[in-house]
Amino acid sequence: MKISYKQNAVLFYLFIIKFLFIFVAEFGYSKVSQLGDSHRYLESTITFGSSLLYSSTALMEFSGAIVKYLQPPLYHLPAMILSFIGVAVSFNALKKRSVFNNKWLLYLFILLNVMPSYLIWTSIHSKEAVAVLFMSYFAVIIINMIDKRDEISKISFLFFCYLLLIFKPQYFVAIISVVVYLYLLIKFRLNAYLSILLFLCMFTVQFMLLVSVSEYIDLVTLNMYSHFDPENAKSTRENIYFVNEGDFFRGMLYGMFISFWGPTINETIARPVWAVFFLESLVIMLVFSFLYLGQIYRLLSYKFNFIAFGVLFFSLFWLLLVHYPFGIFNPGSAIRYRQNFYPFLVPLLIFMYHWVTKPPNVDGEIK
């Protein structure tokens, strides 16, 4: 009963913290840095048009024109509530599967949900706040495919797919890869070795398709730097990343890492204001690494769970890959855009750690 009480209280305290960060963002952070496009959205006028059906920017401007009448800082409240619903959906999905019976996983969930940059960007009127809602939903969809407890509403699924394609279409390949991988495993009840074959076939085909559009990737990435303002944005890095054709692939591994991490040690020393976010990234990486140790433990025990490996690989690889061009030039952009898929990774990694260390009776595990 005591554990249950603590678990139920978590959401209440997380809501209070997110609510307080509305004030931190509006009256604190905005004085030293810009809150992205948030204030531009909130200064918009109500405009009807077909773009509301397919443009995330138009939707944010339209909703901003409505909520601005709540006055600062409460005009951020509706978006904050949307993001909190995403957190609650993830929390309840994990709680229902007894994940938090391990109190350390509960503590890690709380820790990962009170990271400063995450609270700032998802507690204001921003696309990141909306992303928490639909990315948390997709994390729960994947968890439910592995450990089926609930019926998936087709209407809800289509609605959140619609939001995904409007707000973050680049994440679609990661989501669909995991869903297709799990669907084929479950549908045909593939054994461990066929699971490995399926994984290798899927990744080979996907990577070949990626290479086949390398000319288009070069066309996009070689023009990415023009969207940054190195003269006014002092944290913008020199463009040494996308200079020649093929640079996207040559610097892919380092780029994926640093785009997720944000400020480097040298940048933090040069601008001490980055210290909080550098330490935040360090904590996140340490926790994520710890959660992945369950995979290593199973591997060393000759009980490597290839279902979990495939799910995490497709998720991490494709999300980090599409994030890489957006975060490589500016640590602030890296941190901000990271919040769009961060709420997808947190519940998924926590659940996978729980599931791998205490796996259910599901095919696809090498024993």
- For residue 289, give the nearest of 306, 297, 173 by alpha carbon: 297
- Predicted model pTM: 0.91
- Domain layout of the chain by residue ranges: 2-357
CA dist., res. 22 & res. 73, Å (int): 7
DSSP bridge partners of 365: 305
Res 2: pLDDT: 46
To the nearest whole number, what is the mean pLDDT of the chain? 89
For residue 85, give the H/E element and its range: helix 77-96
pLDDT band at 298 (very low <50, low <70, confident <90, very high): low
Average pLDDT over residues 310-329: 93
Query: Picking from 31-45, 80-94, 125-139, 241-255, which range would have the lowest pLDDT averaged per residue?
Result: 31-45
Identify the H or E element spanning 258.
helix 252-261
Q: Which of 329, 170, 342, 315 is nearest to 251 (CA)?
A: 329
The string of pLDDT tens digits covering residues 330-350 is 999 999 999 999 999 999 999
In tens, the pLDDT along 74-103 reads 999 999 999 999 999 999 999 999 999 999
Q: Which two tokens stand for residue 203?
A: 């990744």
